[in-house]
Chain A
Amino acid sequence: MDFRVIAGVTATGLIVFSGTALAQPAPEQIRRGADVYERNCSPCHGARMQDPQGAFDLRKFPRDERDRFVVSVTKGKNQMPPWGGLLKPEDIEALWSYVISAESIYGH
């Protein structure tokens, strides 16, 4: 994970998704989400969200469905167990920040 890339991208300010202006998460928020992701999520969803052969491709998760993301992670979905007992709500928020920043970080 190269956080210089994150910092560079996030310095550009707002990113527009589906016509809705969303505030780009702060770099430290994305970094926290990347840490949670690397430890707990990458084994199934793929390192840096690449190679998601084992589970949903998070690069395709709709950017305007934050609530669905949070509920799925917290309570579990399909083969994914619930993470609400382990991750704090702030961790899951940070994960969301990381997921919606994938395109700007990795260019995919």
Chain B
Amino acid sequence: MKRFAMASVLCLAMNAHAQTLDELKNDGALNDAYRSDNVLTYGMGYHQQRYSPLTQINAKTIKRLVPVWNLSLDNNWGEQAQPIVYNGVMYVTNARHTVAIDVGTGKQIWRHTLDWPAETPRVVCCGVSNKGAALYNGRVYRTTLDAHVLALDAKTGKEVWKSKAAEWQEGYSLTLAPLVANGVLITGISGAEYGIRGFIDGWDTETGKHLWRRHTIPARGEKGNDTWPQDNNAWEIGGGSAWITGSYDPQLDLMYWGVGNPAPWASQSRAGDNLYTSSVLALRPKTGEIVWHYQFTPNDAYDYDACWELILGELRVNGKMRKVAMQLNRNGFLYVLDRATGELISAKAYEKVNWASSVDPKTGRPVETEIAKSIRDMKATEHWPSTRGAKNWQHAAFNPKTGLLYANTMHEGRMYKHLETKPFERGQRYMYIENLPMQRAAGEPVGHIEAIDPLTAEKKWRVPLTDFQIWSAMLASGDLLFTGKHTGEFIALDAATGKQLWQFQTGSGVNAMPVTYTYKGKQYVTVLSGIGGLYWNTNREALKDKVAPGGSVWTFALLPE
């Protein structure tokens, strides 16, 4: 057995360097070059569809799905990451560790441990976590809580380079998985709750040299700065994080990065649209040039951060196939944009929305209601969706065969109030709001698992959730959907009906991103378990007697018949 393990390691060493840009492009692509053994990109493809065509594990065979190994991640902060898999090795991250695992045995190959000052979580609004690694040319890339970018040797876990993106003491932190696009390593930044000025960075993969920085808020004299007050410095402390990995279209050579909320949340000090907060930016990976932008929520007064997944797909629109980018925005509208130009194709409400009545198809701007006026007038107001959104970061999946989005959505209003803004203090919270719970009707769901038509926002089916919301990503795998619950269950649903077909109780809460892949011809499903993140932060008291922290990796496969 020992000799076999040694042979495996040697075999890995030879293969590790083969990982190329072409492989990244073909990851998750439904073409001949797609290799189901690998999961190389955040979102299971540059398109971030989180879809797999694999069918061994299906609605008929799922009853034979069992855990085949579990590995502790020695971490109580929470697990949110998506694993990366290459040539039989899995790479997993959390805020503390980067771990390489033998897919066949579940044995740890190496582990790299990070340390950061104990004070760092002060500037991390929404969970001490990490969302995963990027892999390119024999190196594992990741970000650190104290705002560094790190390259490790994929064979050994040894540090190759480490570059500082920003000072954590000033409110900057990093939790996202990097993106490698057109040979450039790309990262964003977190910290809009602390009055940072957000940015997206390009790095040299070999050396860690900083190549470019695109601020998400234009400087004085740059196009777009006129959407900020000209008589104060609101633009310098105006937020605009980029805390979720962008998607990428290699043919158009455009990346799509969602930009977060403006700071402070209370809007009285920052009149104007506040570009490019609560927007999407289409960027060139080599230079960071902005090719187009679209702002979902101008002068966002609601924390309608637009960071998360912009899912790339093709949809038939008025009889013609269009290349689109789709987002279930936090503000309650489901946007479909032409991804070459940024043209708005559709924006329909997919949840209860009271701050806007619609999105004007001509201007692309939301039509705000009296509710919005009441909030801007600093009155405590019943607000739907709440600042946490109709969907938060829990990524949706898109099945290109059904043309449907599958998502864990939220049904939550809160009593929301802007407070008087006080002077900015670097490295401290810069929000100035109150956000209190309101009475709910008995039996009213807190969220749904649902299948949604991207163009109409109509629900093909909808499963109500009555206890806790789901903050795990969705995986669309053949005719199944996989996701997980804070109470620890990893579940599989029939994608056609939403009926739950299978569940397994993991050791802690699940708030991560499941993946599926093959190894030696057999299909596997992997998910991290370990309660953490924003939902835990905001529901710790309700969950503490039900589920304990503790991170681990669970991998499942079918028992032979």
> What residues of chain A have their CB less than 8 Å away from a CB belonging to chain B?
35, 38-40, 42-44, 46-48, 50-55, 57, 76, 79, 81-83, 85-86
Kindly list chain A residues whose C-beta atoms are within 8 Å of the C-beta of B118: 76, 81-82
Name 9 A/B residue pairs within 8 A (Cβ), A-sorted.
A39-B422, A43-B193, A54-B537, A54-B538, A55-B541, A79-B121, A79-B128, A79-B540, A81-B118
Instruction: Determine whether the beta carbon of B122 is less than 8 Å from that of A83.
Output: yes
Collect the chain A residues with CB atoms within 8 Å of residue B428's CB: 39-40, 86
Q: How far is the CA of A9 from the CA of B341 in the complex (A)?
A: 61
Within 113-130 of B, Cβ neighbours of A (below 8 Å) are at: 118-122, 125, 128
Chain A residues, Cβ within 8 Å of B128: 79
| Cβ A43 vs Cβ B119 within 8 A | no
Nearest CB in chain A: distance from B57 CB, A? 36
Q: CB-CB contacts of B536-551 with A at 8 A, as 1s and 0s?
A: 0111111000000000
Stretch in contact with the other chain, from B155-163, B177-185, B210-218, B433-441: B433-441
User: How many residues of B are counted as interface, with CB atoms below 8 angstroms from the partner's CB atoms?
Assistant: 27
**Beyond known contacts A81-B119, A81-B121: 19 more, CB 8 A cutoff:** A38-B419, A38-B432, A39-B422, A39-B428, A40-B429, A42-B434, A43-B193, A43-B429, A44-B537, A48-B434, A50-B436, A51-B437, A52-B541, A53-B541, A53-B542, A54-B538, A54-B541, A82-B119, A86-B119
Return chain B residues, CB-CB under 8 Å to A38.
419, 432
Q: Which of B77, B193, B538 has the most chain A CB atoms closer than 10 A to its own CB? A: B538
Q: Which residues in chain B, 418-449, are within 8 Å of chain A measured between CB atoms? A: 419, 422, 425, 427-429, 431-432, 434-437
With both chains docked as a complex, state the minimum distance between the C-beta of A72 and any C-beta of chain B, in angstroms: 13
B537 contacts which chain A residues (CB < 8 A)? 44, 54
Q: Which of A38, A53, A79 has the most CB of B within 10 A?
A: A79
Which chain A positions have C-beta within 8 A of B435? 47
- In the bound complex, residues from chain A placing their C-beta under 8 Å from that of B422 are 35, 39
CA distance A1 to B229 in the complex (A): 28
Are the CB atoms of A51 and B436 closer together than 8 Å? yes
Minimum distance in angstroms from A49 CB to a CB of chain B: 11
Which residues in A have their C-beta under 8 angstroms from that of B120? 81
CA distance A53 to B419 in the complex (A): 21
CA distance A39 to B432 in the complex (A): 7
Nearest-neighbour CB distance to chain B for A41, whole angstroms, equals 9
List of B residues within 8 angstroms of A44 by Cβ: 537
Taken together as a complex, chains A and B put the C-alpha atoms of A53 and B468 apart, in Å, by 13
Q: Could you tell me the distance between the alpha carbons of A44 and B118 in the complex, rounded to whole angstroms?
A: 18
B549 to chain A, nearest CB (A): 9
Are B429 and A86 within 8 A (Cβ)?
Answer: no
Q: Are A54 and B539 in contact (CB under 8 A)?
A: yes
Q: Tell me the minimal C-beta distance from B118 to chain A in angstroms.
A: 6
Pairwise interchain contact A43-B125, C-beta atoms closer than 8 A: yes
A-contacting residues, B86-121, CB 8 Å: 118-121
Interchain Cβ contacts within 8 Å, total number: 58
- A9 to B542: give the CA distance in the assembly, Å: 32
Which of B419, B434, B436, B540 is close to A55, meaning CB atoms less than 8 Å apart? B540
Question: In the assembled complex, how far is the CB of residue A80 from the closest CB belonging to chain B, in whole angstroms?
Answer: 8
B195 to chain A, nearest CB (A): 11
Contact A85 B119 (CB under 8 A): yes
Chain B neighbourhood of A48, CB < 8 A: 434
A83 contact set on B, CB distance < 8 A: 119, 122
> Do the beta carbons of B427 and A53 come within 8 Å of each other?
no
Q: How far is the CA of A40 from the CA of B118 in the complex (A)?
A: 16
10 nearest CB pairs, A to B: A47-B434, A81-B121, A54-B538, A81-B122, A54-B537, A39-B429, A51-B436, A53-B541, A81-B119, A85-B119
| Smallest CB separation, B326 vs chain A (Å) | 31
Minimal Cβ-Cβ distance residue in A for B431:
A43
Q: Which residues of B contact A53 (CB under 8 A)?
A: 437, 538-542
Q: What CA separation (Å) do A50 and B434 show in the bound complex?
A: 10
Task: Tell whether, in the assembled complex, residue A86 and residue B427 are in contact, meaning their CB atoms are under 8 Å apart.
Answer: yes
Contact pattern, B 116-152, Cβ under 8 Å of A = 1, otherwise 0: 0011111001001000000000000000000000000
- In the complex, how many angstroms separate the beta carbon of B436 from the nearest chain A beta carbon? 5
CA A83 – CA B118 in complex, angstroms? 10
Bound: A79/B128 CA distance, A: 9
How near does chain B come to A69, taking the closest CB pair, in angstroms? Answer: 18
Q: Are A57 and B434 in contact (CB under 8 A)?
A: no
Complexed CA–CA distance, A79 and B78 (Å): 11
Q: A40-B429, A47-B436 are in contact. Are A57 and B541 (CB under 8 A)?
A: yes
In the bound complex, residues from chain A placing their C-beta under 8 Å from that of B432 are 38
When distances are taken between beta carbons in the complex, the residues of chain A under 8 Å from B437 are 51, 53
B window 499-543: CB within 8 A of A: 537-542
A57–B544 Cα gap in the complex (Å)?
13
State how many angstroms separate the Cβ of B394 from the closest Cβ of chain A.
18
Tell me the bound Cα distance from A39 to B123 in angstroms: 12
Interface residues of B in 434-466 (CB under 8 A from A): 434-437
Alpha-carbon distance between A85 and B123 when the two chains are bound, in angstroms: 13
CB closest chain-A residue, reference B549: A79
Residues of A within 8 A of B122 (CB): 40, 81, 83, 86
| Contact residue among A39, A46, A76, A85 (Cβ-Cβ distance under 8 Å from B425) | A39
- Provide the bound-state CA to CA distance between A52 and B422, in Å: 23
Output the nearest chain B residue to A39 by Cβ-Cβ distance.
Answer: B429
